[in-house]
Amino acid sequence: MRATATTVIILLLVLSQPQAQGTPPGTPLTLVTREGRRPVPTTVLSGQELIALDDLASLFQVSVREDTLAGGLTITYRGRTIVASTDQPMASVAGRVVALPAPAVRAGRRWLVPLEFLPRALGPIYDQRIDLRRPARLLVVGDLRVPRVTARIDAAGPPTRATIEIAPAAPVALAVDGGRVIVRIDADALDLALPTGGGGLIEQVRAGDQPNSVTVVLSGRAGPARAAATEADAVARVAIEVPSIAPPTAAAPATPLPPPTSEPASPLPVLTASRPVLQTIVIDPGHGGEDVGARGAGGTEEKQITLDVARRLRTIIEARLGVRVVLTRDEDRAISLDERAAVANNGKADLFLSLHVNASVAPTVAGVEVFHLRLDREGEDARRAAETQAVSLPVLGGATRTIDVVRWDLAQARHVKASAVLAGILEEELQEQAAMGPRPLQEAPLRVLTGANMPAALVEMGYITNRAQENLLRSDTYQASLAQAIYDAILRFREYLEEGRTP
Ligand SMILES: [Zn+2]
* Higher-scoring residue by pLDDT: 392, 314: 314
Cα(292) to ligand 1 centroid in Å equals 9
Q: How far does residue 261's CA lie from ligand 1's centre (Å)?
A: 62
Distance 275 CA to ligand 1 centre (A): 34
Q: What is the whole-number distance in angstroms between the Cα of residue 392 and the centre of ligand 1?
A: 27
The ranges assigned to domains in the chain are 15-141, 148-242, 280-501
- In whole angstroms, what is the distance from residue 106 CA to residue 493 CA? 49
Q: Residue 303 has what DSSP assignment?
A: H
- Measured distance CA(216)–CA(348) in Å, rounded: 27
- pLDDT score recorded for residue 381: 64
| Range name among 133-137, 251-255, 293-297, 342-346 with the lowest pLDDT average | 251-255
CATH numeric code, 280-501? 3.40.630.40
Is residue 222 predicted with pLDDT exceeding 50? yes
Question: Which whole number is the average pLDDT over 351-376?
Answer: 90
Other C-beta atoms lying within 10 Å of the C-beta of residue 268: 17
- What pLDDT, in 10s, does the model give residues 412-428? 888 888 999 999 999 99
294 alpha carbon – ligand 1 mean position (Å): 6
Give 357 Cα–ligand 1 centroid separation in angstroms: 5
pTM above the 0.75 mark? no
358 CA to centre of ligand 1 in angstroms: 6
- Residue 293 alpha carbon to ligand 1 centre in Å: 5
**322 pLDDT tier (thresholds 50, 70, 90):** confident
Cα 309 to ligand 1 centroid, rounded to whole Å: 13
Which position has the higher pLDDT, 352 or 178?
Answer: 352
The CA 307 to ligand 1 mean position distance, Å, reads: 12
pLDDT at 326: 93
Give me the CATH topology for the region 15-141: Copper Amine Oxidase; Chain A, domain 1 (3.30.457)
The pLDDT, as a whole number, for residue 388 is 45
**Cα–ligand 1 centroid distance for 383 (angstroms):** 26
Distance 249 CA to ligand 1 centre (A): 64
Please state the separation of Cα 261 from the chain's center in Å: 39
More confident residue, 216 or 10: 216
Name the nearest CA neighbour of 381 among 410, 402, 361, 358: 410
- Indicate the pairing of strand 72-77 with strand 226-232: unpaired
Residue 394's beta-bridge partner residues? 400
Instruction: Give the integer Cα–Cα distance in Å for 463 and 420.
Output: 23
pLDDT at residue 386, rounded to an integer: 53
Q: Which one is predicted more confidently, 225 or 482?
A: 482
Q: 148-242: which CATH architecture? A: Sandwich (2.60)
Q: What is the pLDDT of residues 98-146, one digit of tens each?
A: 888 888 988 888 889 999 999 989 998 898 899 998 888 899 998 888 8
